[in-house]
Structure formats: structure tokens, C-alpha cells
Amino acid sequence: MKIQATCRTCGRKFLLSQIGEDSDAPGRCPFCGAHFAKQYSTVLVDAVRDAENAATYFAHALSGLDSLETGFEIDYDALLAEISARVGHSASGNVA
């Protein structure tokens, strides 16, 4: 699953995979070239990969639940609010 972010320097949206280890400029904005987490560039690249892999796994697991006739309905609004709270942002804030 691709995760979208916004550069705080130029304000443009990009996919985190665009700053990952396979990008032309890992750890930099693909549009303005701003460095993201300069002191942690290696950690950043690993964290991008881990976050996208975890998001893919999470979405797949939820899709699996949805495909079953469970007799319940998942409250996705509450789930997204909880995820947002756990990563330190309000539900209407910085989670894309």
C-alpha cells in the first residue's frame, strides 16, 4: 500500500515510496530536493519500507475479515481515528 505525504518545504504531495531506497534521491523531496530527517536518512528509508509493508499487510488482513460472513461490521471511522491517535495526529490532521 502506498502512503502519501506532503513536503513541508514546497507543499507538494508525494508517495513515501518516492523517497525510499529505490528512488533517485532517497530521503529527499522528489520535487524540491529538501532533505527529510537528514540525521536519520538510513533509518528513514527503512521506516518508509516498513510502514508501507505494514499498511499493505493491515489492509489485506481487514479485507480478509470483510470477506467473511462474520455477523459484525468493522467501524472503520473509529479504526482510522485510533490509528491517527496512536501515531500522534488528530483524525483530521496529518494522516493521509
Quick one: cell of 10? 514546497
The predicted model scores a pTM of: 0.75
Higher pLDDT, 20 or 67: 67
Q: 25 Cβ partners below 8 Å, 6+ apart? A: 19, 33
Residue 89: band (very low, low, confident or very high) from pLDDT cuts 50, 70, 90? low
pLDDT value, residue 90: 52
* Cell 532533505, located at residue: 35
CB 91 within 8 A of CB 82: no
